Amino acid sequence: MQVATWNVNSIRTRLTHITNWLQSNPVDVLCLQETKVIDEDFPKSNFEELGYHVYIYGQKAYNGVAIFSRTPLNDISMGFTPILGGTIGEKFDVQKRVITGVVNKTRIINLYVPNGSEIGSEKYEFKLLWLEVLKDYLKTLRDQTSQEFCVCGDFNIALEDKDIYDPKGKENHIMSTPAERQALQNVLSIGLKDAFRKFITEEGHFSWWDYRSAGFIRNRGWRIDHLYLTPKLYEKAISCKIDISPRKLEKPSDHTPVIVEF
Amino acid sequence: MQVATWNVNSIRTRLTHITNWLQSNPVDVLCLQETKVIDEDFPKSNFEELGYHVYIYGQKAYNGVAIFSRTPLNDISMGFTPILGGTIGEKFDVQKRVITGVVNKTRIINLYVPNGSEIGSEKYEFKLLWLEVLKDYLKTLRDQTSQEFCVCGDFNIALEDKDIYDPKGKENHIMSTPAERQALQNVLSIGLKDAFRKFITEEGHFSWWDYRSAGFIRNRGWRIDHLYLTPKLYEKAISCKIDISPRKLEKPSDHTPVIVEF
DNA sequence: GTCGGAAGTG
DNA sequence: CACTTCCGAC
């Protein structure tokens, strides 16, 4: 089974990129972030025609996540609220960043972690808080079920220096501050391991390049799109790859897909 | 000598269209309207590299005119104020619609006549007033000098029924009302003749097609971009042509160039 | 309806 | 640099 994650930066603008990619890469599950469209306007049929069931959780202009799956998903839920209950959603589910569903006893959890804007800003604090809530969410979900998890998405965090093209120059940069890394490590402490690092340990592999200052052609990249697996699934993983080819197309997303097979 | 006029509807969006066109059509003078950019951001060097001297009179987002010339222009001025003096500019030069300069003893006057929006509206009245001021401007300029004039630009007026694809359906339409036609005839009465009509008298030749409802592919056009010449220059004119090819490109301006040779 | 630019976010 | 919405223009 293959699961891919891809921040597409607008499903509508990237429509042909995504359908073309799926035809060459008929993954079982595709998790998308930054769809940037309300559910009513989501171009579902384009993907249904390719044989996918489409699950969406979108909003106007910002954020928005979706899961496409060749077989129907079970136990679908959107946002933190269905799992955590209470009023947590009033603060955290206004932004549509979380969608989950189960296929083959494996729970797919698709995330779009807040970007954080600038260190110390309100958005930065929100990102750190959001990651705390995420840990609760994952822990609760894991305790409730005996499912294996594939937690994937755009984390907007490079966990290690080798995940950044110029770590020295990025020591106090958004997406690589100690606080962000610690917050993500704390999430992973519930029992999640990075599928990519099972196979590739060296530096210089990236999933995102800034549109600005020719980030891609100078390979000034970051590895911030991740697939994290619970132990049994991690053991079963047989490959994890970044496909940089969509980033080379005309009008690309700034992110490129990452695919795990298990 | 060849002089062309072209409402480009944003110099920045049309940059490659214009440079490509100039390479195939190395006219001596190109008059542009609706450049839609402040002078600071005008992409001058792209045209200087092609051997043109660039004279610009722009504003933010709307209007804006420019003249490119293979040889330097003399006696350049922008707006009505330098010629008419007084406070006329407070009302009329806020919108950047007039630029002029002299080459080979011929004065090029490049105009972007107000569109007029809807009949009877404030903008419609402004258009009619603007044309009265234009007449004063041209008369004053002509009395001051012994130059021949080439008065060109987007006039937003189709002078005759045969300049419209469907004159019957446009009897009370902006750009062809009797008042607009009369106002333009009044301007021309100072001694200006339509270069295009020296060569082509039949109907069905257009320089503008509405973006809406597939105006171009259905050839629902208007001839509203004109080159008017004073008598001696008119006698010397050897051709005047509309080049519809740029209108066929991807993301075209809604107008296409008109070229006179004398 | 179909453009273009502006402002805000990433 | 590239998205979005909003708005003005035509």
Res B213 pLDDT > 90: no
Label residue B224 by pLDDT band (50, 70, 90): very high
Of the candidates B17, B53, B57, B154, the residue annotated as catalytic is B154
What distance in Å separates the CA atoms of residue A194 and residue A78, rounded to the nearest whole number?
23
The angle formed by the CA atoms of residues B173, B174 and B178, to the nearest 5 degrees, is: 75
Quick one: average pLDDT of B127-133? 97
Nucleotides of D under 7 A from a protein CB: 1-5, 8-10
Of the candidates A52, A55, A57, A112, the residue annotated as catalytic is A112
Shortest CA–C1' contact from B208: which nucleotide?
A: D10
Domains of chain B: total: 1
Specify the pLDDT at position B140: 96
Residue B254 is assigned to a ligand binding site: yes
Query: Could you tell me which residues come within 8 angstroms of residue A110 by beta carbon, excluding any fewer than 6 positions away?
Result: A5, A31, A32, A33, A65, A66, A67, A98, A99, A100, A152, A153
Quick one: average pLDDT of A105-118? 95
Specify the pLDDT at position A134: 97
Quick one: average pLDDT of A56-62? 92
Active site annotation includes B154: yes
Judged by DSSP in three states, A155 sits in coil
Label residue A85 by pLDDT band (50, 70, 90): very high
Active site annotation includes A255: yes
Structural domain range at position B56: 2-261
Task: List the A249 CA – C1 C1' distance (angstroms).
Answer: 30
Specify the pLDDT at position A146: 83
What distance in Å separates the CA atoms of residue A109 and residue B23, rounded to the nearest whole number?
55
Residue B143 is assigned to a ligand binding site: no
Is there contact between B212 and strand C, defined as CB under 7 Å from any strand atom? yes
pLDDT digits (tens, 9 = 90+) for A217-233: 999 999 999 999 999 99
Shortest CA–C1' contact from B115: which nucleotide?
A: D10
CATH number of the domain within which B147 lies: 3.60.10.10
Shortest CA–C1' contact from B11: which nucleotide?
A: C4
Residue nearest to nucleotide D7 (CA to C1'): B61
Specify the pLDDT at position B168: 86
- The encoded tokens of residue A160 equal 């290690």
Specify the pLDDT at position A172: 85
Q: Which of B228, B242, B230, B56 minimizes the C-alpha distance to B147? A: B230
CB A227 within 8 A of CB A240: yes
Handedness of CA A134, A138, A144, A150 (dihedral sign): positive
Label residue B159 by pLDDT band (50, 70, 90): very high
Of the candidates B52, B57, B112, B137, the residue annotated as catalytic is B112
Residue A41 is assigned to a ligand binding site: no
Quick one: average pLDDT of A74-96? 94
pLDDT digits (tens, 9 = 90+) for A123-163: 999 999 999 999 999 999 999 998 999 999 999 999 999 99
Residue B180 is assigned to a ligand binding site: no
Shortest CA–C1' contact from B127: which nucleotide?
A: D10
Specify the pLDDT at position B67: 98
Judged by DSSP in three states, A149 sits in strand
**B69/A168: higher pLDDT:** B69
Task: List the B70 CA – D1 C1' distance (angstroms).
Answer: 34
What distance in Å separates the CA atoms of residue B210 and residue B219, rounded to the nearest whole number?
10
Whole-prediction pTM: 0.88
Among chain B residues 61-120, those with CB within 7 Å of any atom of strand C: 61
Active site annotation includes A243: no
CB A76 within 8 A of CB A56: no
Task: List the A248 CA – C1 C1' distance (angstroms).
Answer: 33
Specify the pLDDT at position A97: 96
Res A238 pLDDT > 90: yes
Among chain A residues 145-204, those with CB within 7 Å of any atom of strand C: none
What distance in Å separates the CA atoms of residue A206 and residue A223, rounded to the nearest whole number?
4
Label residue A171 by pLDDT band (50, 70, 90): confident
Distances (CA, A) of B163 to A102, A250, B3, B194, B250: 65, 40, 21, 12, 25
Nucleotides of C under 7 A from a protein CB: 1-6, 9-10
Residue A226 is assigned to a ligand binding site: no
Residue B156 is assigned to a ligand binding site: yes
* Poorest-pLDDT segment among A36-45, A64-73, B129-138: A36-45
Judged by DSSP in three states, A231 sits in helix
Specify the pLDDT at position A53: 98
pLDDT digits (tens, 9 = 90+) for A190-204: 999 999 999 999 999
- The number of residues making up chain A comes to 262
Quick one: average pLDDT of B102-120? 96
Is there contact between A114 and strand C, defined as CB under 7 Å from any strand atom? yes
